[in-house]
Structure 1
Amino acid sequence: MTPGSNLPLSAVRVAVDVTAPVRLDVSGLLLAADGKVRSDDDFVFYNQPAGPGVTHSAAAGGGDTITVDTAAVPDGIEKIVVTASLDTPGATFAGTEPTGTVRNADDGSVLASFTPPQLGTETALVVVEIYRRAGAWKVRAVGQGYANGLAGIATDFGVSVEEPAAAPQAPAAPGAAPQAPPAPPAPAPAAPAGQWGPPTGAPAPVAPPAPAAPAAAPGKINLDKGRVSLQKNQTVSLVKGGRPLLTSVRMGLGWEPAFRSKSIDLDASVIAYGPDRKKVDNCFFGKLMILGGAIQHSGDNLTGEGAGDDEAITVHLGGLPPEVTGLVFVVNSFSGQKFSDVAKAYCRLLDAQSGEELVRFDLTHSEPRTGVMMAKLIRQFSGEWEMTALGEYVDARTVRGMVKPAGQAL
């Protein structure tokens, strides 16, 4: 299977084996229609090996197994996500290829297998999900990575996780609210009611150190405190008051000719991608509406002069089809003028109804190239969106030339 692909299940009882060259902790979470567990009883792992219709066990060939008896799963459960986190403190999935194998639990026959591609700094991930669709059960390959281990997965899906007292090597982040990935390293979950925690005799997991990044945010950023100004490579979660922003937003892009430069004709575009990083469609001055009107372009600006946004692209987040999981906003110089001739280039995300500016990113440097990836919006597995400032230059004069580098930036 490839990321985002799905298959119907031909067996009532299915077993998902998750194996890797290193020791993994494999879990299963039973999720209701809101994408959350109903209670901590819906979290199945090594210290709580049984839930309604779902069990955890050690796989015969190494690794762990989550077995789902679809006939025994309660009616209020829409999906079971199978997750894996690294058992070794500080380790990441870089160089490690975990594989999820879906079998008929009764006869052992293999129904599907999936190895998430291009893993790096993730310390945990959702491997596959078993879900209902029109009264039938299916399996979907996911491969969604988390940067904060099992605790990040648990809190994202509504499991109550108590943070232990801060230790010198891994201090807890006071006031940190559970939000969608990626997130800074967080302490491992404590053990409420004797259920949580590593097996007897095993060392408690330690949060990995934060990876070095040019402009890494010290904590998870959301919209609760008002407008967010991003630096390159920083990310903001489009969540306010604990609720994901799923209304219409407008990405405004602007620029000015550099001092003593002539008028400059730049073109802003957005490229929509699926979970496999393949282009679904793109919206630009020659195609002002895509995806049934879910994305609309304001039209071409030929000079870059004047106050305000030069071009704008409106995205109805709630109206995007489910196969669209990523958007990359790009700017190109069709005439071949270089970005070294551009000044004050920026992008900003606004609430399309109120006009309130939510997020802003100003380019602080320029390069003599003809294209730039300004920002990306990524739909998280939990349904919310995150915006990341990119500011990466490439040699491409049209949106067509941006498709491959933008896909690689997702």
Structure 2
Amino acid sequence: MTPGSNLPLTAARVAVDVTAPVRLDVSGLLLAADGKVRSDADFVFYNQPAGPGVTHSAAPAGGDTITVDTAAVPDGIEKIVVTASLDAAGATFAGTEPTATVRNADDGSALASFTPPRLGSETALVVVEIYRRAGAWKVRAVGQGYANGLAGIATDFGVTVDEPAAPSAATPQAPPAPPAPPAPAAPPAPADHWAPPAAAPPAPPVTPAAAAPGTGTGTGKVNLDKGRVSLQKNQTVSLVKGGRPLLGSVRMGLGWEPAFRGKNIDLDASVIAYGPDRKKIDNCFFGKLMILGGAVQHSGDNLTGEGAGDDEAITVHLGGLPPEVTGLVFVVNSFSGQKFSDVAKAYCRLVDDRTGEELVRFDLTHAEPRTGVMMAKLIRQFSGEWEMTAMGEFVDARTVRGMVKPGGQAL
């Protein structure tokens, strides 16, 4: 989604996951027709996790989730706004892009995704809103920023914020809360009941890998903390390093050699971008070297496979991918019709484009006499991070066009 766009909700219960590379405090405010909360009960956050038809919880893969049961929202409520503020004192959203993923709360399927663009001095955001229109429920991407933190949002929507010296609630009927930490010197510094306590819990850690460090030989997923990961077919690595999602530019290098001397092999590497419905959004190949506003770029065609290093490479700026792109499938085809049984040492590898560090490698050790292979896929998680899975699935297709359907089925 883009700022101001809206979509009809196709589920009665929706969950809004808000995630970022840094710790966020996420809340939901139930607003009446006048754009204000009716009372403190309409403010839902980690210290008051349930309101009428709205609940707060930790997201499955990090971050926070606001769940809205539209059938249980009171008739007098016209809108639920989902907000995010930065946990660290003095921090701004400059260089930090939170992502809201709206999904069906019952089956987990993704309905929409939104990343507010061009953030700077903001310390809090209205990210999205769930609202009624003509008896139906819709979601709107907002991305409105505030420079005075969650207190600025709360004040706008009718929550009374006490001065820093106030030890308890932000509204007259608020329940008692733990003492807030000492207020910073610069106003506004809310010591309200939703400010995190001094001993606020850290962000959920990345799930430890079930495999040996730095390998892909276990049954669980690994991350990038221990250095390069070598994957085998159907194994997955989470593109997380130091507890933070990798959102910079990565290069997928694909290489091969002829199985027999004196025989050139002309293979073509491509990538297909898919949306949450597994439908193709676009594809990048030797005939279309740039897609998605430059977020995906192809190095150009190699006609022989000769030479050291990658034969063809595709660079992906993960943080620049449009939110509607939820999956990428990297494929190789033999346009001339030669079979992969004539190919030796086919591989794909993921490289940090900034440092040149090889992050993940998959060597295709078994080939079939077919003309296409799906080498790897990248899938965006609800948390905003990406996961790479080694595929090595062969199909009969000489061009990227023939890979679109099997690629979508493989996501």
TM-score bracket for the superposition, by shorter chain length? 0.5 to 0.7
CA contact (8 A) 2:264 2:305 kept: yes
Q: Which amino acid aligns with 2:25?
A: R
**Contact 2:272-2:282 within 8 A present in 1 as well:** yes
1:263 partnered with 2:257: no
Gaps in structure 1 of 5+ consecutive residues: 1-5, 19-26, 57-62, 86-92, 113-129, 136-158, 162-175, 185-214
Query: In structure 2, what is the Cα distance between the partners aligned to 1:75 and 1:308?
Result: 47
Please tell me whether the aligned partners of residues 78 and 131 of structure 2 are also in contact (alpha carbons under 8 angstroms).
no
- Alignment CA distance shift 1:344-1:66 (3 Å): farther
AA paired with 1:241?
G
Structure 2 residue 54 is matched with structure 1 residue 54: yes
Pairs within 5 Å for 1:295-374: 295-374=296-375
The question of 1:38 aligning with 2:25 is answered: yes
Percent identity among equivalent residues?
66
Q: Measure how far apart 1:324 and its partner are.
A: 1.4
1:133 maps to 2:142: yes
Q: Which moved more, 1:221-230 or 1:71-80?
A: 71-80
| Distance in 1 of aligned mates of 2:10 and 2:301 | 53
1:189-338 paired onto structure 2 within 5 Å: 217-260=218-261, 262-338=263-339
What's the secondary structure of 1:38's corresponding residue?
strand
User: In the TM superposition, what is the alpha-carbon distance from 1:337 to its structure 2 partner?
Assistant: 0.2
Alignment CA distance shift 1:233-1:44 (3 Å)? farther
**AA matched with 2:231:** L
Give 2:235's aligned amino acid: Q
1:83 Cα deviation from its structure 2 partner: 6.2
* 2:389 matches 1:388: yes
TM-score (norm 1): 0.59
1: CA distance between counterparts of 2:403 and 2:347? 18
| Kept after mapping to 1: 8 A contact 2:268/2:332 | yes
Structure 1 residue 70 displacement after superposition: 5.9
1:29 positional shift: 6.4
Would the alpha carbon gap of residues 302 and 30 (structure 1) be closer, same or farther in structure 2, given more than 3 Å must change?
A: closer
Take 2:239 and 2:367, find their aligned partners in 1: how far apart are those partners?
28
- Structure 2 distance, partners of 1:381, 1:279, is 20
Change in Cα spacing, 1:297 to 1:32, as seen in structure 2 (3 Å) is: closer
How far residue 80 of structure 1 moved from its aligned partner, in angstroms, is 8.8
CA distance in 2, matches of 1:273, 1:295: 13
Q: Please tell me whether the aligned partners of residues 274 and 280 of structure 2 are also in contact (alpha carbons under 8 angstroms).
A: yes
Tell me by how many angstroms 1:178 deviates: 3.5
Alpha-carbon shift at residue 219 of structure 1 (Å): 2.5
1:110-161 deviation per Cα after TM superposition (whole angstroms, max 9, x unaligned):
547xxxxxxxxxxxxxxxxx565267xxxxxxxxxxxxxxxxxxxxxxx979
Tell me the distance in 2 between the aligned counterparts of 1:241 and 1:367: 38
Give me the CA root mean square deviation: 4.3
Q: Distance in 2 between matches of 1:67 and 1:44?
A: 20
| Structure 2 unmatched ranges of 5 or more | 28-43, 57-68, 86-97, 112-129, 145-199, 211-215
- SS of the residue corresponding to residue 407 of structure 1 reads helix
Contact 2:24/2:84 (<8 A) preserved: no
Shift of 1:320: 1.4
In structure 2, C-alpha distance between the alignment counterparts of 1:222 and 1:366, rounded to whole Å: 27
1:260–1:8 Cα change, 3 Å: closer
Flag the structure with larger Rg.
2
Any idea what SS the aligned residue of 2:257 has? strand
Q: CA, structure 1 residues 397+42, in 2 after alignment: closer, same or farther (shift >3 Å)?
A: same
Residue 340 of structure 1 aligns to a residue in which SS? Answer: helix
SS of 2:332's partner is: strand
Kept in 2, the 8 Å contact 1:80–1:131? The answer is no
Q: Which amino acid aligns with 2:142?
A: R
Indicate the SS of the match to 1:406.
helix
Instruction: Sort the Cα spacing of 1:16 and 1:280 in 2 relative to 1 into closer, same or farther, 3 A.
Output: closer
- AA of the residue aligned to 1:280: I
SS in 1 for 2:73: strand
The change in CA–CA distance for 1:385 and 1:263 in structure 2 (over 3 A counts) is same
Q: Which residue type is aligned with residue 133 of structure 1?
A: V
Question: What amino acid does structure 1 have at the position aligned with 2:252?
Answer: M
Structure 2 vs 1, CA of residues 39 and 178 (structure 1 numbering), >3 Å: closer, same or farther? Answer: farther
